[in-house]
C-alpha cells in the first residue's frame, strides 16, 4: 500500500511536470512568432517603398520548414539595421525632380529633350519644387519651352551639370528665336554652378554678310585706314549643312514675375545669351556670360518691356552689348558688373522702323569695362518717337575702351538709312565719375536736329588717351545741351550750356 501510494504520487507529479513544461514552451514559442512577424512586416514596408534588396533577412524561418529555437525576450539580439530605402520616386513623394529619373542619359550625345520636358511637367504641378540637373553630366537638349501659366509658383531649376545645344541644323528647322525658354511663370529661379552652352561657333561660321553691324564701327578707323568688314570665316566641313540664318537666344524669359537667375554660366550663344521680355521683378546676380569678342550679335543680357530689374555682381564677356536695355524698360539698376570684351552697356537701339520707345529710371554704376568698343551708350534711330529720361551712369572704370561715352541718335545698322525729323526724346542723362583710358574718342554726342538732347550733365569725367591702332579724336557734341558740374579731362567744350532756344516739345502721340 505504501509503495503503491509512492509510485502513484510520483507518476502524478511527472504528469503535472509534463503539462507545465508544455504550457511554458507554447508561451515562449508564441512570443517568438510575434517578434518574427514584426520583423517581417517592417521589412515588407521597405520593399514597398523601394527596391527589394536586403529582404532575405526575414526568410530564414522558412529554411527546411523547421522553427528556430525561440529565445526569451530579455535575451533577444538587437534588431538588425534595415537597409536604407532608395530615393523615393520624384513623382510620388518628393519635391525634387531629377532629370535622370525621367530618362535623361547625360552623355552629351543622346537627345535628353523629352526627359527635361517630363521632369518639368512633374515639377510644374508642385509648388516650390526643384527640377534638378545634376553635376558631372552633359545633357544634349534641343529647343524647349518650360511654360506656365498653370504651373505652381516658386519652382527652382537647379543647374549643376552642363546643357549643350544641338549642332544638327535639322533640329532648328528654318530657325527659332530661342533655345531654352521659360514663359508665364511666377517666382521661377534658375540657380547653381552649371553651364548652358549654346554651341555658337557653328552659327558664327555661317555669319551672313548682311547681318546687322554695330553702327559705331564707322567711328573707329585703323591707322592704316583699312577696316576689316567681317571676321574671318572658319573652313566648314564639306559634309555639314548650313545653320539657319535666324539665330536663337540661349536662355529667354517671357511674361514672368519675380524671376531670379544666379550662379550659372551661359556661354557661346548663337545670338543673345540671356533675355527678359515682358517680365516684372527680375534679379540677376553672380552669373558668368562668355563668348568671343568677335562673335556676331551675341549680347550678354537683353532687357525688353521689363521693369524692376536688378543686375549685379556678374562677369559679362561677349561680342555685342554686355547689357542691352530696350524699349519698355523702367526701374533698372545695374551695378558691380565686369564688362569686356563686348560693346559696353547700352540703352537701345530704340525707335527702329518709326516705332515708339519708352525707357526711364535707369541706373548703371560701379562697373569695370575693359577692351570694349563703347562704354556707356544710348542709341536711337531717326524716325522714332517716345523718350528716354532719368538715366545715371556713375563710377564707371574704363580701360582701353574705344568710345567710353556715346549718344547716337542717328543709329543705323545697315549701309544706308534715310534722314527723318522725328526722334526719341532724350532728357535727364547724367554722367559722373567716368574714369580711365580710351583709344579712339572720349565722348561722342550726336543728338537729333529736330529734338536735341537736354539736361545732359557731366561730373568728374577723367579720360586719358591710350594710343593703340586707331586714329584718335577730340570730344564731339551735336545738339547736346546741359551742364558741366566739374572740369573734365579732356575738356568737353562742345557741350552747350543750358537749354535750346527752340526745343520742340513732343506731341501727345510721342509722349510716354
Closest to 281 (Cα-Cα) out of 412, 152, 142, 186: 186
φ, ψ dihedrals at 285, nearest 5°: -155, 155
φ/ψ region of 46 (left if φ > 0, alpha if ψ in -120 to 50, else beta) reads: alpha
Of the listed 273, 302, 343, 444, which one is catalytic?
343
Closest to 309 (Cα-Cα) out of 279, 286, 346: 279
Closest to 118 (Cα-Cα) out of 92, 91, 143: 91
75 in active site: no
Residue 315 has which C-alpha cell? 562677369
Q: Is 122 helix (H, G, I), strand (E, B) or coil?
A: helix
CA count, 13 A, side-chain hemisphere, 221: 7
**What is the full DSSP assignment across 363-428?**
EEEEEEEESBSEEEEEEE-TT-EEEEEEEEEEEEEEEEESEEEEEETT--SSS-----S---EEEE
* Cβ pair 203, 179 in contact under 8 A: no
State how far the Cα of 306 lies from the Cα of 121, in Å rounded to an integer: 27
CB atoms within 10 A of CB 71: 13
First CA to last CA distance, the chain = 130
* Cβ pair 141, 176 in contact under 8 A: no
**What is the full DSSP assignment across 188-223?**
-EEEES-EEE--THHHHTT--TTS---GGGGG--BT
What amino acid positions are annotated as catalytic residues? Answer: 343
Amino acid at each position: 500500500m505504501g509503495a503503491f501510494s509512492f509510485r502513484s504520487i510520483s507518476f502524478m507529479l511527472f504528469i503535472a511536470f509534463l503539462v507545465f513544461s508544455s504550457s511554458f514552451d507554447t508561451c515562449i514559442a508564441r512570443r517568438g512568432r510575434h517578434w518574427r512577424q514584426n520583423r517581417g512586416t517592417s521589412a515588407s514596408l521597405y520593399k514597398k517603398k523601394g527596391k527589394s534588396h536586403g529582404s532575405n533577412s526575414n526568410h530564414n524561418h522558412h529554411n527546411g520548414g523547421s522553427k528556430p529555437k525561440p529565445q526569451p525576450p530579455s535575451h533577444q539580439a538587437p534588431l538588425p539595421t534595415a537597409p536604407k530605402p532608395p530615393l523615393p520616386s520624384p513623382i510620388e513623394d518628393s519635391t525634387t525632380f531629377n532629370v535622370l529619373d525621367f530618362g535623361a542619359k547625360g552623355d552629351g550625345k543622346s537627345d535628353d529633350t523629352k526627359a527635361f520636358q517630363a521632369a518639368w511637367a512633374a515639377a510644374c504641378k508642385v509648388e516650390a519644387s526643384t527640377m534638378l540637373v545634376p553635376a558631372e553630366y552633359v545633357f544634349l537638349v534641343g529647343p524647349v519651352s518650360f511654360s506656365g501659366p498653370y504651373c505652381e509658383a516658386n519652382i527652382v531649376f537647379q543647374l549643376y551639370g552642363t546643357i549643350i545645344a544641338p549642332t544638327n541644323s535639322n533640329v532648328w528647322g528654318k530657325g527659332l528665336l530661342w533655345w531654352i525658354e521659360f514663359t508665364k511663370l511666377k517666382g521661377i529661379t534658375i540657380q547653381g554652378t552649371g553651364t548652358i552652352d549654346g554651341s555658337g561657333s557653328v552659327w558664327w561660321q555661317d555669319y551672313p554678310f548682311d547681318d546687322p553691324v554695330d553702327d559705331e564701327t564707322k567711328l573707329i578707323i585703323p591707322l592704316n585706314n583699312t577696316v576689316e568688314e567681317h571676321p574671318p570665316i572658319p573652313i566648314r566641313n564639306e559634309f555639314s549643312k548650313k545653320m539657319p540664318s535666324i539665330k536663337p537666344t540661349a536662355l529667354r524669359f517671357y511674361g514672368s514675375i519675380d524671376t531670379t537667375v544666379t550662379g550659372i554660366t551661359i556661354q557661346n550663344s548663337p545670338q543673345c545669351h540671356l533675355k527678359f521680355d515682358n517680365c516684372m521683378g527680375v534679379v540677376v546676380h553672380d552669373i558668368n556670360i562668355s563668348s568671343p569678342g568677335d562673335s556676331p550679335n551675341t549680347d550678354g543680357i537683353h532687357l525688353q518691356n521689363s521693369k524692376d530689374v536688378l543686375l549685379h555682381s556678374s562677369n559679362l564677356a561677349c561680342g555685342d552689348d554686355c547689357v542691352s536695355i530696350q524699349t519698355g524698360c523702367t526701374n533698372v539698376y545695374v551695378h558691380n558688373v565686369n564688362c569686356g570684351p563686348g560693346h559696353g552697356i547700352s540703352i537701345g537701339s530704340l525707335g527702329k522702323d518709326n516705332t515708339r520707345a519708352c525707357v526711364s529710371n535707369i541706373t548703371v554704376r560701379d562697373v569695370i569695362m575693359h577692351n570694349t568698343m563703347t562704354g556707356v551708350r544710348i542709341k536711337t534711330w531717326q524716325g522714332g518717337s517716345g523718350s528716354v529720361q532719368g538715366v545715371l551712369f556713375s563710377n564707371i572704370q574704363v580701360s582701353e575702351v574705344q568710345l567710353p561715352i556715346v549718344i547716337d541718335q542717328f543709329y543705323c545698322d545697315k549701309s544706308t538709312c534715310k534722314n527723318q525729323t522725328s526722334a526719341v526724346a532724350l532728357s535727364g542723362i547724367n554722367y559722373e565719375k567716368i574714369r580711365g583710358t580710351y583709344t579712339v574718342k572720349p565722348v561722342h554726342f550726336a543728338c537729333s536736329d529736330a529734338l536735341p538732347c537736354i539736361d545732359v550733365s557731366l561730373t568728374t569725367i577723367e579720360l586719358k588717351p591710350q594710343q593703340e591702332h586707331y586714329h584718335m579724336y577730340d570730344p564731339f557734341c551735336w545738339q547736346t545741351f546741359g551742364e558741366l558740374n566739374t572740369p573734365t579731362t579732356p575738356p568737353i567744350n562742345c557741350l552747350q550750356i543750358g537749354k535750346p532756344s527752340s526745343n520742340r516739345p513732343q506731341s501727345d502721340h510721342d509722349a510716354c
